[in-house]
Structure 1
């Protein structure tokens, strides 16, 4: 009897690969090892030289350029998924962005354009992907995004991304309600501090990481692979009754804030 954690025969999209430190990489690795087949996306041609060497560890997935601000690239991604499989069982959204000048300043001082850009790339793009995936999930499926505790509580230097992640978590709950009758589950995963390229844009990130290592109950940081394992759980039959939640993968760090 196959394990309820098996992803054998499942197909889907992992969006947001940049390099070997990306959460998307850990997700694609774990999904491949669980038996899934993926299309993996990256946002900039500049990332190709960093991600091409990673292909074997992800099972040799198809790579597609997809800047979520370019609607035609998003259309091409889901058109390709439909051509290849006729369906999608999961979509993993591991994408976030904020202009540094806004991210490093007070929320009070954030620019209208900068806030709108961060919200569009980090939150509304998940809505657009959910809309594209809906018609390809006639037998149900899983939509997952990446959030952070700074969307729930104030975390020093997280600044503008706090309200943006709060919006993403709220979006997750509303999409879970709207799509639930179709068997589509929608969840957020909340890793603790992980040394990714996106995290490097936060001021005093090393201080936050050291706090996670010294004060989390497990006295360590979560890894991108830890996040990938949680993705497998939530996208597989093991997570079939789980929707609308924020699932922490942070070695317990969130209970100590």
Structure 2
């Protein structure tokens, strides 16, 4: 089957999608946007600042790039006003935004400050609801909204700081958004819950690289999830072909969650100095 046939199957051609969260070439949002464009869709890119627009100018050459820092209500309102003035109807939106402030590095969860937690909730979770409310009149009746979660919010991974409970709030909001929007539309809300990815953002998290290398040992196929695999799932969820899926978190972890007790990994741990204590 040719690529053209595959992309025609998605029925994205000629439709417009809002993609938030492109920071660089390694961003999940950028991988999703590329697939939308390859399928014939149009992408409006939203970055958080003028400096980010400047830093991505070469990458997003000749693209429609808007600015919106979701931490500020007036900027969200301004984005909605711009899209209304341009008479843009959105077939979907990609919310690939997350932020956590670790000024002193990763610390024990119970030492998380109120300011840190609430800021991260605002930017990483509430922004989805806030944006959808502001843009509700811009969405097509059957639009699809996709956000990026994590493969599990129940695992107390020390290298992820306090973000797992915040991602849990993000994923929980999908059901409530689906329900409330169903009163006037058929807009769908889903999440791609990604396993450990090699991105610029993750590289800056203390201890993340070791967790990534461990994941490669646990995953049955022996290699970690690739950004394009997450993007492909998100692009499918944006398409009419996924019309029966809503309020779901689709896990893309290459089977990591079924293989924690792989014999080789267990043996390596039990035979180590740590395992002999």
User: Which residue of 1 is the match for residue 14 of structure 2?
Assistant: 9
User: Which residue of 2 is the match for residue 26 of structure 1?
Assistant: 31
Preserved contact between residue 221 and residue 251 of structure 1 (Cα < 8 Å) = yes
Structure 1 runs of 4+ aligned residues shifted over 6 Å read none
User: Aligned runs of 1:151-162 on 2, under 5 Å?
Assistant: 151-162=153-164
Preserved contact between residue 102 and residue 160 of structure 1 (Cα < 8 Å) = no
Summarize deviations over 1:209-256 as a string: whole Å, max 9, x none.
Answer: 112222212322222222221121001111101001111222222333
User: Which residue of 2 is the match for residue 136 of structure 1?
Assistant: 138
SS at match of 2:182: helix
User: Which residue of 1 is the match for residue 57 of structure 2?
Assistant: 52
CA distance in 2, matches of 1:102, 1:180: 43
CA distance in 1, matches of 2:32, 2:44: 12
Query: Given the superposition, is the C-alpha separation of residues 132 and 153 from structure 1 closer, same or farther in structure 2, using an over 3 Å criterion?
Result: same
| Alpha-carbon RMSD | 2.0
CA distance in 1, matches of 2:160, 2:190: 22
Preserved contact between residue 19 and residue 95 of structure 2 (Cα < 8 Å) = yes
SS at match of 1:24: helix
What TM-score, normalized by structure 1, do the two folds share? 0.91
CA distance in 1, matches of 2:143, 2:48: 24
CA distance in 2, matches of 1:97, 1:229: 23
Q: 1:104 aligns with which of 103, 106, 111?
A: 106
CA distance in 2, matches of 1:102, 1:81: 39
User: Which residue of 2 is the match for residue 183 of structure 1?
Assistant: 186
Does residue 1:192 correspond to 2:175, yes or no? no
Specify which structure has the bigger relative contact order, considering alpha-carbon pairs within 8 angstroms and separated by 6 or more residues. 1
Preserved contact between residue 8 and residue 39 of structure 2 (Cα < 8 Å) = no
Deviation at 1:85, TM superposition (A): 4.1
User: Aligned runs of 1:113-152 on 2, under 5 Å?
Assistant: 113-152=115-154
SS at match of 1:52: coil
User: Which residue of 2 is the match for residue 170 of structure 1?
Assistant: 172
Deviation at 1:9, TM superposition (A): 1.8
Deviation at 1:82, TM superposition (A): 2.6
CA distance in 1, matches of 2:143, 2:128: 15
Summarize deviations over 1:101-144 as a string: whole Å, max 9, x none.
Answer: 37611221110111100000000111111112222225221111
User: Which residue of 2 is the match for residue 39 of structure 1?
Assistant: 44
Preserved contact between residue 16 and residue 42 of structure 2 (Cα < 8 Å) = yes
Preserved contact between residue 107 and residue 160 of structure 1 (Cα < 8 Å) = yes
Q: Give unpaired runs (5+ residues) of structure 2.
A: 261-277
Q: 2:67 aligns with which of 65, 68, 93?
A: 65
Number of positions where the alignment pairs a residue of Structure 1 with one of Structure 2:
254
SS at match of 2:58: helix
Q: State the structure with more CA Rg.
A: 2
CA distance in 2, matches of 1:53, 1:218: 35
Summarize deviations over 1:42-88 as a string: whole Å, max 9, x none.
Answer: 113332343122225xxx43011211112222222222223334321
Query: Given the superposition, is the C-alpha separation of residues 71 and 90 from structure 1 closer, same or farther in structure 2, using an over 3 Å criterion?
Result: same
**Richer in helix (by share):** 1
Deviation at 1:164, TM superposition (A): 0.5
